[in-house]
Structure 1
Amino acid sequence: MPRTKRDQSSTGIYHIMARGINRQNIFMEDDDYSRYIDTLREYQNEIAFELYAYCLMGNHLHLLIKEGNEEIGNTMKRIGVSYAYWYNWQYNRSGHLFQGRFKSEPVENDTYFLTVLRYIHQNPIKAGLVSDAENYKWSSYREYIKQNGIVNTDFALQIFSSDKNKALIKFSTFHKEVTDDQCIDIDEGKRTLSDKEVRNLVLEKYNIDLAKLQNMEQVIQDEIIQYLKGEKGVSLRQLSRLTGFTIHRIYKVKV
Structure 2
Amino acid sequence: MSEKYKVRDEEKIYFITFAVVQWVDVFTRCEYKDLVIDSLRFCQREKGLEIYAWCIMSNHLHLALGTAGILPLPDIIRDFKKYTSVTLVRAIAANPQESRKDWMLEIFKRTAETSNKHQKYQFWQNQYHPIELTDNIKQQRCLHYIHHNPVVAGMVSEPEQYVYSSAIDYAGGKGLLEIKFME
Instruction: Name the TM-score, length of structure 1 as normaliser.
Output: 0.56
- Alignment partner of 1:141 is 2:177: no
What displacement does 1:148 show? 5.2
Say which SS state the counterpart of residue 66 (structure 1) adopts: strand
Larger helix proportion of the pair: 1
Change (3 A) 1:70 1:89: same
- The runs of 5 or more residues in structure 1 that have no matched partner are 160-255
Percent identical: 24
Matches within 5 A, 1:43-192: 43-68=43-68, 69-92=70-93, 93=105, 94-144=120-170, 145-147=172-174, 149-153=176-180, 155-156=181-182, 159=183
Change (3 A) 1:148 1:15: same
Aligned equivalents of 1:43 and 1:50: distance in 2?
9
Aligned equivalents of 2:16 and 2:22: distance in 1?
19
What displacement does 1:49 show? 1.9
Aligned equivalents of 2:80 and 2:36: distance in 1?
8
Aligned equivalents of 2:125 and 2:6: distance in 1?
20
- Deviation track 1:115-162 (CA, whole Å, cap 9, x = no partner) reads 111110011111122111121111111123211542324x33xx3xxx
Contact 2:55 2:164 in 1 (8 A): yes
What displacement does 1:65 show? 0.6
Structure 1 runs of 4+ with >2 Å offset: 5-12, 67-71, 148-153
Aligned equivalents of 1:124 and 1:76: distance in 2?
23
Change (3 A) 1:25 1:103: farther
Residue aligning to 2:111: none
Equivalent residues, number: 154
What displacement does 1:9 show? 4.8
Aligned equivalents of 1:65 and 1:137: distance in 2?
19
Residue aligning to 2:20: 20
- Deviation track 1:53-102 (CA, whole Å, cap 9, x = no partner) reads 10000001100011232222211111111111111111224500011121
| One-letter identity of the residue aligned with 1:102 | Y
- The runs of 5 or more residues in structure 2 that have no matched partner are 94-104, 106-119
Say which SS state the counterpart of residue 80 (structure 1) adopts: helix
> What is the root-mean-square deviation in Å for CA atoms of aligned residues?
1.7
Change (3 A) 1:148 1:124: closer
Residue aligning to 1:4: 2
| One-letter identity of the residue aligned with 2:89 | N
Change (3 A) 1:43 1:140: same
Aligned equivalents of 1:19 and 1:51: distance in 2?
18
- Deviation track 1:148-179 (CA, whole Å, cap 9, x = no partner) reads 542324x33xx3xxxxxxxxxxxxxxxxxxxx
What displacement does 1:47 show? 1.2
| One-letter identity of the residue aligned with 2:177 | I
